Amino acid sequence: MKVFVKVLTVLLLLLYLLILVKQILINFLPLEVVLQVIIDRLTFKSEVEIFWGSHNFIPFKTIFYYFFSASEMSFGVRIANLAGNVIGFMPFGFLMPILSKRFLNLKIITLATFCLSLAFELTQLIFGFGSFDVDDLILNTLGGVFGYFLISLIFTFIYRKRK
């Protein structure tokens, strides 16, 4: 049974990561365009420089903007943008502790979620598949922590039930 759970968890994690890549990096671009951009950047054929102005390096700037200043957007759209960053990374915090006991530690899952989010943000920055936003790092990491707390509650409930 444990092997089945591990295999199923690995498959779910892979599917989740593929969906995350699709949603974050290549949501609006055809795959052939994405591959060409990657090849051009890695072989230094691209003359395109990173435009620093479209990125956010100031913590909480986007979060505060959505909550207090983005009057041209509906409140629902603003909340959906913020919640999407949190909810999008909850499965990572949920699945990793099932996959390995190493991730049954809040510090470890927080660091792992932060690193995964940072990898996506740096990929957006380097390859231009979106914009780097430090607030995404904050919200994504928070999502991983929420996922961790959810699976921790489930583990606690199962453990108490067995006693």
Taking each continuous run of H as one helix and of E as one strand, the counts in the chain are 6, 0
Q: For residue range 83-101, what is the model confidence (pLDDT) as tens digits? A: 999 999 999 999 999 999 9
Q: What percent of the chain has pLDDT over 90?
A: 61
The Cα–Cα gap between 142 and 144 comes to 5
Q: For residue range 23-81, what is the model confidence (pLDDT) as tens digits? A: 988 877 777 877 787 788 777 776 555 555 589 999 999 999 998 888 888 989 899 99
- Burial of 136 (C-beta count, 10 Å sphere; 0-12/13-18/19+): buried
Q: Return the DSSP state at 49.
A: P
- H helices of 25-133, in order, are 31-42, 61-64, 75-99, 106-127
Q: Which has more pLDDT, 156 or 160?
A: 156
Q: What percent of the chain has pLDDT over 70?
A: 94
Length of the chain: 163
Half-sphere exposure of 138 (CA within 13 A, CB side): 13
